[in-house]
Structures are given as structure tokens and as C-alpha cells.
């Protein structure tokens, strides 16, 4: 469990799904239905889902699948009224921590071509564009940019990750700064 600036991040549970579904519907043009999350939590052994809480209320969530040594980010969303408070960044950091804890060497994701804010956050954490999935999103046939971290255990990734985390947590970054 991670606690930062009155935001607590921990595992998603079944009783979080009503709020997760609300945030999902407010965040995505084609939201996942509640039963998709039910399946992820109950049946998908490859899945890991986390929630961010403020005052015991779910305000954001993220998830991934770990397949062998690769983590695939499936979702990340923050309630509209809690955006621009770096909660999405905290969720990404917690997810990367969990991916590494579970033995992932690589992290990948797809992001809408028009979602430049998310792309900027991912680049900050070492994701690089490696391809495009044309017409990926079913609601409007928008392209998805495929992003990839490279090896998360390499020095350059670790130095950037530690620097960004320290800055996020309000502490002094480790000496040497980001790689």
C-alpha cells in the first residue's frame, strides 16, 4: 500500500466496483462494463488492479496484466473532480512498482493518439512510442499509439523512475538526476 499526500493506493476489491464503474463511465467513450472488472478480479490470474482513495473514497484506478516478463497496462483513470492532482501519476508509479515486484522486465500500453496528456506522463516515465494500431478504438476508429518502456531493470530506467518518484513524493531527487 502506498500513501502520499492523503491519497492511499492499494488493491481493488469487489466492493470498489460501483465507484470504479462511475469513474469508467465518466472517463471513456466506450467504458468497460462492471462485469468486465468482476471477471478481472475474480478470474484473471494475470490481472492486477489498484485503486486510489481520498478519505476512503475511490478517486482513481489502474490495472495491468502480467504475462511472463511483460506487463500490459489495461487502464488508468481518475474521477473528473480529482484530476490535475497527480493522482494518475501516483497510480502509474504504484503500477510500475507492482509490475517490477511481480518480475516484469517490460511494460507496454496503448494510448489514444489525441491523449497527449497521458502520452506526456508516460514519456516522463521512460515509455517510448514503438508503433501505431490504426483504427484501434471502436467508438471513433481513432489510432492507438503503442508505447513501451524497454527493460525496467536497466540503470537508465531505474534512475529516471527513482528521480520522478522522489519529485512526486515531494522529496529531494536522488543525486545524479534522471538518466
Catalytic residue numbers? 110, 122
Dihedrals phi, psi of 14, to nearest 5 degrees:
-55, -40
Closest to 64 (Cα-Cα) out of 39, 43, 46, 38: 46
b/e code 133-170 from CB counts within 10 Å (16+ = b):
eeebbeeeebebbbbbbeebeeeebbbbbebbbeebee
Distance of CA 90 to the CA centre of its chain: 8
Segment holding 130, helix H or strand E: strand 128-133
- Selection from 40, 53, 48 nearest residue 3 by Cα: 53
Cβ atoms of 118 and 110 within 8 Å: the answer is no
Q: Tell me the three cell numbers of residue 8.
A: 492511499
Alpha carbons 17 and 41: distance in angstroms, whole number: 10
Amino acid at each position: 500500500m502506498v500513501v502520499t499526500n492523503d491519497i492511499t493506493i492499494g488493491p481493488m476489491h469487489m466492493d470498489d466496483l460501483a465507484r470504479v464503474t462511475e469513474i469508467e463511465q465518466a472517463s471513456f467513450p466506450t467504458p468497460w462494463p462492471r462485469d468486465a472488472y468482476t471477471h478481472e478480479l475474480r478470474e484473471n490470474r494475470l490481472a492486477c488492479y489498484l485503486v486510489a482513495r481520498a478519505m476512503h473514497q475511490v478517486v482513481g484506478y489502474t490495472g495491468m496484466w502480467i504475462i511472463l516478463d511483460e506487463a500490459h497496462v489495461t487502464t488508468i483513470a481518475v474521477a473528473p473532480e480529482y484530476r490535475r492532482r497527480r493522482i494518475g501519476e501516483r497510480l502509474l508509479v504504484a503500477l510500475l512498482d507492482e509490475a517490477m515486484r511481480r518480475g516484469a522486465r517490460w511494460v507496454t500500453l496503448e494510448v489514444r493518439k489525441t491523449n497527449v496528456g497521458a502520452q506526456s506522463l508516460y514519456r516522463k516515465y521512460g515509455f517510448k512510442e514503438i508503433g501505431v494500431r490504426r483504427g484501434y478504438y471502436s467508438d471513433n476508429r481513432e489510432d492507438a499509439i503503442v508505447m513501451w518502456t524497454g527493460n525496467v531493470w536497466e540503470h537508465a530506467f531505474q534512475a529516471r523512475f527513482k528521480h520522478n518518484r522522489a519529485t512526486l513524493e515531494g522529496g529531494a531527487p536522488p543525486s545524479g538526476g534522471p538518466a
